[in-house]
Structure 1
């Protein structure tokens, strides 16, 4: 074989090997609710800003169906660099009126998590005809429960086992309706209000469901398929100046999270939240963590990270966000978020 040809083949082989060895299965999932200027600002993005988001994605990212991303990370398959999925929660009619035409224009697939009994029944919700039109033009639909309830709320005198059975029945009924109406069952479940506990998450996984939360971060094959993070992209999070950075984040490779159950009760006491991290592409000493956007002290021993979580004084939802720069991909950050859900002293869950 001529030396020149041999050298070319060697370079091609080395290039393919290098690309394969650094192939990533990371992706980002975006979360929207309303595309409208007449709906609550905290969960809304205007059609003009939504178009800006889509134009940015078209230029800098690869928008894929949510199923493509979930299948890839479930089977440890590579994804295109900076892959993104677009999702909506709650099935509002402005998704059909304002978002769908823009998504169709850009040729982007997307997924809407809906409450089937509300479709065709509530004035501000989609109709089944709209759902089926959207489904024929690039949208997919998944499970958000029968009704947009606080799933963690128990009925009077209800045991933990009775509560879990009731909630799982609700999820399964909604999934059956989706299959009847659309002809398929993705078995994707988005937790209303993003709320879940360990027993619900584990029970859904045992039944083959993938769970979607409302915490920040990218997803990868090592992510928790019972509570995948999604970046909110509306309200105060809609600015492209910050959203563009999040769109390029990587899923932090964490394990051995403790405590695993995100439920706290009032009055809470201070405890340490801990996790281990794979340091192949990050310097554990550069991990920075935040609670309510305020930096908190981080203690590191080998690859074990410990964060003091101060006592919470009121009910609601809180989270710890941790980031660290990538060594290989300059300018990109790993991101990990842990939620905490705190009911009132009398067991109520706040919207």
Structure 2
């Protein structure tokens, strides 16, 4: 049954890939202390009994709350939402009722943590609560305040909104700066989504890499400064609009001390690329809680090397297979599955190296290969890794 959910999750995640603390910290800190206490208590007093317990039903393990254990390396799922409304574009929206069901599930089965805690844990290789989840929104829509904020505030869930400063207070669906300041004072974190939600890779081929990079980086820095001027905060977090980036942009982020966030899927952990952290879309076609549960329980695939260095493609066919080097005996590579456009693709395993090929033409815009493999020690949980591809049209631009 769980394998079917994995397959359906993959299908959902591929079909529409071109669509797109102050008060809050108190409860989080209490949860951390309780989790740590119970984890130590379990190890000292119940380890022999646990080791003798027969394996539970896999589906029950996916559902089970794990407040009593800590994992040895940081691992988290980052959720991505846009609109929380029943009257906005379906492709990027989730109804308030469905959003509430997501949050109720998280309250029972996961620990919601600030995005900053996830980033810090990965950077410093410190622990996070078992099944940690961070909540993010892109674009700064007013319905986040109207429909999501009351639910999140009631549950004391921290969350981050990536905004375009030049759009705030301009569009009829956007938050105003007064609302942003009020939410910030209420513990909501705001971060950079560029000034105006541009396609960051547009014009790269026409302008040349150096001129293009100077242009888009000026946009990023201007957006960061405007957020700092309004809110007196500069996290240097950048969520790529449409999830689009290339190696030159990622290298610039690293050189300037920024953390980047994409829209390809997967959990995050110690081996994650800090300039392109994956997030699970959880609205539109991805709002189905049955398949989202599998993603929330996923583990970050410990990929230490990939032969696919640049997600920005200069042609629509891969010239060679892509190989991933995976550094963990806990990844059951004998049962790995990779999917492209919702369909399984051929894989090959040699030692700890996973190789896959995409034989069909890549679509203009955004696509990805998702690979999963079960954990040997955590029944019902799957390692997850996404390889994104970005293809421009004939004019060198990227579609919405």
TM category (shorter chain) comes to over 0.9
Residues 109 and 269 (structure 1), Cα distance of their counterparts in 2 relative to 1, 3 Å cut: closer
Matches within 5 A, 1:39-50: 39-50=88-99
Do residues 12 (structure 1) and 44 (structure 2) align? yes
Matches within 5 A, 1:1-351: 12=44, 23-154=72-203, 157-312=206-361, 314-351=363-400
Distance in 2 (alpha carbons) for counterparts of 1:258 and 1:286: 21
Distance in 2 (alpha carbons) for counterparts of 1:282 and 1:266: 32
Question: 1:24 offset after TM fit, Å?
Answer: 2.8
Question: 1:81 offset after TM fit, Å?
Answer: 0.1
Instruction: Determine if contact 2:79/2:281 at 8 Å carries over to the other structure.
Output: yes
Q: Which has the higher strand share?
A: 1
Q: How far does the alpha carbon of each residue in 1:158-212 deviate from its partner, in whole angstroms, 9 at most, with x for none?
A: 2210000111111011001111111111100000000000100111111000000
Instruction: Determine if contact 2:367/2:389 at 8 Å carries over to the other structure.
Output: yes
Q: How far does the alpha carbon of each residue in 1:220-246 deviate from its partner, in whole angstroms, 9 at most, with x for none?
A: 121110100100000111111011111
Secondary structure at 1:117's aligned position in 2? coil
Instruction: Determine if contact 1:271/1:310 at 8 Å carries over to the other structure.
Output: no
Residues 21 and 42 (structure 1), Cα distance of their counterparts in 2 relative to 1, 3 Å cut: closer
Normalising to structure 2: TM-score of the pair?
0.81
In the other structure, the counterpart of 2:29 is none
Distance in 2 (alpha carbons) for counterparts of 1:288 and 1:313: 19
Q: Which has the higher helix share?
A: 2
Question: 1:298 offset after TM fit, Å?
Answer: 0.4
Question: 1:42 offset after TM fit, Å?
Answer: 0.8
Residues 313 and 80 (structure 1), Cα distance of their counterparts in 2 relative to 1, 3 Å cut: closer
Instruction: Determine if contact 1:288/1:295 at 8 Å carries over to the other structure.
Output: yes
Question: 1:157 offset after TM fit, Å?
Answer: 4.8
Distance in 2 (alpha carbons) for counterparts of 1:242 and 1:338: 20
Instruction: Determine if contact 1:168/1:204 at 8 Å carries over to the other structure.
Output: no
Distance in 1 (alpha carbons) for counterparts of 2:313 and 2:207: 19
For the aligned residue pairs, the C-alpha RMSD in angstroms reads: 2.0
Distance in 2 (alpha carbons) for counterparts of 1:186 and 1:312: 39
Question: 1:37 offset after TM fit, Å?
Answer: 0.5
In the other structure, the counterpart of 2:55 is none
Question: 1:279 offset after TM fit, Å?
Answer: 2.9
- The number of equivalent residue pairs is 340
Instruction: Determine if contact 2:203/2:397 at 8 Å carries over to the other structure.
Output: no
Question: 1:122 offset after TM fit, Å?
Answer: 1.9
Residues 13 and 23 (structure 1), Cα distance of their counterparts in 2 relative to 1, 3 Å cut: farther
In the other structure, the counterpart of 1:3 is none
Instruction: Determine if contact 1:282/1:326 at 8 Å carries over to the other structure.
Output: yes
Normalising to structure 1: TM-score of the pair?
0.93
Residues 171 and 341 (structure 1), Cα distance of their counterparts in 2 relative to 1, 3 Å cut: same
Instruction: Determine if contact 1:317/1:339 at 8 Å carries over to the other structure.
Output: yes
Residues 102 and 21 (structure 1), Cα distance of their counterparts in 2 relative to 1, 3 Å cut: closer
Distance in 1 (alpha carbons) for counterparts of 2:111 and 2:252: 33
Which is bigger in relative contact order (C-alpha 8 A, separation at least 6)? 2
Instruction: Determine if contact 1:111/1:140 at 8 Å carries over to the other structure.
Output: yes
Stretches of structure 1 lacking an aligned partner (at least 5 in a row): 1-8
Question: 1:13 offset after TM fit, Å?
Answer: 9.6
